[in-house]
Each structure stands twice: as structure tokens, then as C-alpha cells.
Structure 1
């Protein structure tokens, strides 16, 4: 297909292939991203921050986890800018490559005992690389799926990259669990934790092969052919805070709550000896599998009833569940912990189903990669980056999880306000955004419908 001509019609098979490729690619990227969080919760404190107290060491390790989130807006801004100027496909290939190289090098990184203070410094730099990679990943994968999808299935197809997150968690948890079961505690702390990072190399090669076969987004191709590419798409997005700010806030509760569950709770239950780390990893796998299954169901419901009601339902569930979550965790029973995590996973999934399409279509095609990527990354910083750190600090200061639950409720109110504030899909002067070009199509978003 030439970029000088309007793109050919998209076949259903091609649309499904693009969505599936996006799912596989995001699964690999989130696997890379979350094995770091699990290692930070379990082993990075003694390996890279020895000599610190247990709380200080855990805080330092979780701070390096947060660095990945802080780097995501950089990746989102850089890859969003070039994704809106050069194309979505090339940035997706680059994001996976950056993430893969960073993850592999973490698996090979000498510890503090070998190279001293250089070890934590290099760990932070490689975590920054991971953050840059995943910062450009989500927007590109979501847009390729959205912009290839039939008008009536944009919400469903764009939910596929969202499914990649819990599947990445499943894969990361299973690999960590298998390694934990295969070696004893001393061997795991000494070298076993490296295995999940090294496995990433094979996964990344597989993902790159898939992405190099993808075609460019037809909507971006049309923008190019009509000479509507913006000179500074990121600047255009930053000059529209009435869209960017609420778009950024919608993901705060989901990101924060998910990382309290995935990262903080792992160290919390281990330190308090509520359940073993292996049991918690198994519960995480079950939770993430249910989470992955609910996302497309929520997307289908959003196509019928509107995206905004599903976003409010999922975020409302997370907010209401904040206190019961830790009440059940503190029982120390496998059943209690499982119910706590599964209900949280369902809340995250319900809000995640319509999220990709809702955020992407808040921006016109010519700046969509920049807008959606930066909004998603900022939400991740305000929610997921600081949540495990805040949770650890609150527990250390109070000795209970009550303050952590109150913090999760506050995150929920931020996101609910953002959902209610973000306006209808943005009119697109290219006539090609997936918003106003198919307003009358079944399941499409109408600017005149406040529930969407």
C-alpha cells in the first residue's frame, strides 16, 4: 500500500490479525515490565541495596520500580511524536526492541556485591529503558487495533492490547513461580531471579517477527496522503489541557490499585507471613486470568451501553472494594486473599475494557498517538508508579492497612471525576478519526450521546 494513495478497504481477517498481533506484543512487553516489579518486591533489596533496614531496602527497590513509570511519559512523548509523524508500526517495533534489550541486560547485571554502587545506578538506567519502551507500546498497539477495526467493533478490538497486561502478569507470575519451585530460597536469591529476565530474549524475537509483518494504520496512511501530518503533534496535545488532563486521570485508580495488588501485596503478605510468596504468585495468576477474560466482555458491553458507564462501574467497584480488600488479605487465609484479589481484578478489567477506545478517540487521528500515549503514561505515574511506595510508607508509619485503603479510595475519586469530566469524542478535521466519520454506525460513538 502506498502512502500517497488512500488505503484499500480493511478486511475482517486483517483487522483480527492486527488486534491479535497487538495482544501478543503487549503481553511480551508487560511480561518484561512486571517481572521487574516481582523481583523488586522479592529480591532486589538485598541484591542491590544491602545494608539498609528491611523497610528502607524495600522502599529503595520499589522506588526503582516506580522509575519505570516515571519514564513512561518520556517514551509516550517521544514515540507518540514520531508515531504521529512517521507511523505507528515503526514505533511499535522500536518500543519492543528497547524493552527487550533493557530486560535482558537486567538479567545479566552484576549485583552490589560485585560492582558496588554502579549496580543500583545501572539498574535504574535499565529500568528507565523499560519505561520508555512500554510508554510507547500501549498507544501504538491500541491505535493499530482501533484504526483497523470495523466501526461497530472499535471498542472490542482496541481492548486487545489491554488484555496483554494481565496476560503479561500471568506469564511473569508463572515463570517466577516455576523458578521458585525449582530452586531453593538461597539459589533463587543468588541467581534464580535472573532466569525470567533472560527468557525475555526469546519472547522479544518472536514479537519482533510478528510486528515486522504488520501493515501501517490505514487512518494514519490517509492523513499522510492528504498532507495533514502535524509538525508538532505533542505540542498540539499539550496545548489542549481540557482533554489531556481528564484523559490522564481516568487511569489513575486502575493503575494504582492494580500495582498495590500486584507489587505491594506480594511483599506485604510475605513480610507478615500471611501466605507464602509462592501461594501469592499462584493467586496472582488466577486473578490475572480472570482479569484477562473479563476485559473483552466489558468491551462488548461498552459497545452496547456506552463506554462511560463501564468506566464508572469498574472504577466504582475498585473504590468500594478498597477496604474489604485488605480486610480479606489480613485474614491470612488462601480463600480470603484469593477473593480479595479476584474482585480487584474484575474491577480493573471492567474499567479497562472500554478504556483504550475511549482515550484514543478523545484525540484526532493526527495527534492520537501522542495524546493517548502521554495521557496513559501520566495516569500510570500518578497511580501505578507511586502506589506501592505510598502503600509501603503508610504501612510502616501506621502498622495497619487502613490508611492504604483510604489512599485507594482517593485514587478512585480522582478517576471518577476524570471520567465525568472528559468530553465527547473529538471532531477530526480529516474526517477519518473513527469518531465522526461513522457516527451512525451501530455501536459507534456519537458526540451527541453524553453516556459515551
Structure 2
């Protein structure tokens, strides 16, 4: 058995990318993407309010910190348009190298930023600029990684190869949270608060460590050869001067369907991670001296410690990775649409089960939470895995980078950016009972289900075609 991906098309005369190179090149960028997300999210809670936004009010400082976190969501669609344009016009390889290099430099520079104590509010401004740069780079990263995987896949295995970039989500989660847990154990503070050493330099380690993964990713991506699909589009004159205009003019239905097909996936992921971390670690009763008149009614949580809950999430994320890989071969066999319709129905039902698993039930609360996270992340892997093939397959070669990137990143605004905020509001409206949050997930699932029903199966689409 050879170690090169064999193409059944006229590209056989070209040098082929090895399987290991395709896997690494497509996996490394999304791993850094999700690693960066969790590293930044953790720092935004633990250290950024004190180091970059010392307003004198803890709530205001936290909100300012989360504002810079959310700024990346605004920059992602812009990055999708820019990198999608260059990826469809000049090729996947150079665009992937540029997006990874931009992301890597921005993440590393966050790790060496001076704080408010050193340069005042200019430190917060620099943090915002670097966060925008991260979001801009990530806007083009996923789609390019998915195209590297699927455009180099053997016949009949596009969905399997499309799971390689998707694995970056669980791997990035485990690396980022594992590293923060190690740092937390090595330099513990009092009563769970960050220690002086952690505030001084410990928080910088995860950001600086990202440079290692970026260097590996660049080394692999620089060795890639351009995909046969893109080479064929160039040879036949199918490349357009303005791919975005072409995508919106001729493939607007695919853009809308792709955006909403991805919606339930995003909502599920950010509920299981961002929202559940807040709900799971908030105290079930208000602290002594809490002023309800000034701050509003206390919204209770489950009262787990940060370490306890992150360890439970890591258990669930292992199943995320397993089901991501399992979903690929199944989607290749039965079709992306049929599999995702079944999984989306499962997500809708799962949303209705929130009250069953997420209410305090004494000693059984921890066990129920672990079961809840395992079920949720198993569904997450099952829906996220096939997306690496399905979204690119909605578009022909000459607008594939642009189309899949725009759909993926616009969906991130509707799902990723809004889900945690909407969930917190619904949690408060429910008086601490998350049943409304579950209904929100089910509603997102219904929108995705309708989009899947209106779409067509893409398993057997001609991936080298320049028209759909």
C-alpha cells in the first residue's frame, strides 16, 4: 500500500500529497483555532479583567474582557471573505499558510503583551487588535483546512477525510484546558483565585506554547502541492476575478442552507462549553451579603469547582472526538444528509431533556452531569464530523473556499456569538432552571432540520466540477 493519496482524475501526473501530510495540514490549523478559543476564554475569566481592564468594578471588568473575546466573531466573516477570495483565485496552499501565520503571530504576541500596569489602557487596545487579528485569520482557516482534506481524499472517502480538520475541536479543547489545569495545580492560589505567579507570568504560557503548533503547521503546509480540483479549475479557465460576487449571485441558496445547516452544531457546542461552564460552576445559593436589590435576583447554578467541571467536560470531549471519527465513514456510506437528519432529530430531543439532567439532585448531580456531557458531545461529534465534507460539497471548485467559509462563519455569528448570551438570559428568566435553554437548542435544531430537508445529498457530487 502506498502512502500517497491516489486521484482517479487527470491529476495523476502531478505529485500527490501523502496521507500523513494531508491529515496534519488539515488538522493543525483547527486544533490551534480551538486551542486559542479556550486559552483566551479561560484567560478572559481568570486574568484579563485584572490585568487589562482594572475598572474598579468586577462585573464591568469581566464584561470588557468578554467584549474583546467576542470581537473575534465580528472579524471572522471578514476573514472568510478575504481568505476565501484569495483561496479561490490563487490557490489553497498559499492562503492556508497566510491564515496560519497570521493566527500564530497574533496568539504569540498576546503572550508577550504588556499589561495595564505597564502602559495603561493602551494594553487593552493592543489586546483588542490582536484578538481581531485572530478572528480574521480564523475566518479563512477552517474552510481551507476542510478543502485540503477533502480535495485530496481518495474516491468515496471525502467525509472520512473531512473529519480530520474537525478533530481539531476536541484536541484543542483537551490541550488548552489540560495545560491550564497543569498550571493551576503547579501554582495554586487561595480559595481558587489565581496566584500571584499565575497573574505575573503563568497565564502567558498557553499563548506562547501555541508557537510550537504553528511552526509544525507551517512546516507541513509549505510542503503541500496544490489540489487537483483547483488545478483543473485553473486549466479550464473557471477561476473568477471576484469569487464572492459569483458565490452570492449564483449560489445564494447554498449559502443560506449551509449557514443554517451548521446552526445547531454551533449552538450545541457553545452551550456545552461556554454556558455550561458558567452554569456548572456558579454557586447554588447567593453568597452572604449579596444585595438582590442592587444586583437582581440570584440565579443559581450547580456549584462545581472550576477543576471539577473542566475534568467532567474533558471526559465528554473524549466522546466528541470518537464520534467525530465514527461519523465520517457512516456519512460516506449512507450519505451526509441522511445521517445529519437523524443526528439533528437527536439534538432536538436532547434539548428537551435539559431539566432531567441539569437540576440539582444531591449526590447524583455529578453523575447526571457527566452523562449529560457525554450524550451532548457524542451528538456534537456526530453532527460536526460530516460538516467538513458537506459544506464544501455545496459549492463548485471555483467558489468552494469562499462559499464554505462564508456559510461556516456567518453561522458562527448566529450560533457561537449569540448562544452564550441568549442562554444566560433564558437561564435567568427560568429562575435558574435551564429548561428554556434546552428549548433554545431544540429550536436551533428545528431550523437546521428544515435546512437539511430542503437541501440535496452531496455524497456523490463531482468534486472536480466547476458548475453545480
Cα deviation for residue 350 of structure 1 reads 0.7
- Counterparts in 2 of 1:235-250, with a 5 A limit? 235-239=245-249, 240-250=251-261
Cα deviation for residue 42 of structure 1 reads 3.6
1:57–1:341 CA distance, 2 compared to 1 (3 A):
farther
Aligned mates of 1:425, 1:418 — CA distance in 2: 14
Q: Is 1:433 aligned to residue 443 of structure 2?
A: no
- Tell which deviates more after alignment, 188-197 or 176-185: 188-197
Q: Show the counterpart of 1:440.
A: none
Q: Is 1:270 aligned to residue 281 of structure 2?
A: yes
Aligned mates of 1:76, 1:324 — CA distance in 2: 35
Q: Show the counterpart of 1:296.
A: 325
Cα deviation for residue 340 of structure 1 reads 1.5
RMSD of Structure 2 on Structure 1 (CA): 2.6
Cα deviation for residue 94 of structure 1 reads 0.9
Q: Show the counterpart of 2:357.
A: 328
Q: Show the counterpart of 2:334.
A: 305
Aligned mates of 2:435, 2:199 — CA distance in 1: 31
Check whether the contact 2:398–2:466 (CA below 8 A) recurs between aligned residues. no
Q: Show the counterpart of 1:80.
A: 84
Q: Show the counterpart of 1:415.
A: 448
- Tell which deviates more after alignment, 43-52 or 80-89: 43-52
> TM-score normalized by structure 2?
0.85
Cα deviation for residue 235 of structure 1 reads 0.9
Check whether the contact 1:274–1:330 (CA below 8 A) recurs between aligned residues. no
The number of equivalent residue pairs is 431
Aligned mates of 1:103, 1:376 — CA distance in 2: 22
Q: Show the counterpart of 2:294.
A: none
1:394–1:47 CA distance, 2 compared to 1 (3 A):
farther
Q: Show the counterpart of 1:198.
A: 208
1:216–1:52 CA distance, 2 compared to 1 (3 A):
farther
Which residue among 224, 229, 241 is the counterpart of 1:219? 229
**CA radius of gyration, larger in:** 2
Q: Show the counterpart of 2:419.
A: 387
- Tell which deviates more after alignment, 302-311 or 371-380: 302-311
Cα deviation for residue 141 of structure 1 reads 0.9
Q: Show the counterpart of 1:232.
A: 242
Q: Show the counterpart of 1:162.
A: 166
Which consecutive residues of structure 2, in runs of 5 or more, have no partner in the other structure? 1-8, 284-301
Q: Show the counterpart of 1:441.
A: none
- Tell which deviates more after alignment, 356-365 or 188-197: 188-197
- What do residues 196-238 of structure 1 show as CA deviations (whole Å, max 9, x unaligned)? 1111112211111111111111110111122221111111112
Cα deviation for residue 433 of structure 1 reads 2.3
Cα deviation for residue 89 of structure 1 reads 0.8
Which residue among 405, 409, 426 is the counterpart of 1:377? 409
> TM-score normalized by structure 1?
0.88
Q: Is 1:17 aligned to residue 46 of structure 2?
A: no
Cα deviation for residue 344 of structure 1 reads 1.0
Q: Show the counterpart of 1:450.
A: none
Which residue among 178, 182, 186 is the counterpart of 2:182? 178
1:307–1:183 CA distance, 2 compared to 1 (3 A):
same
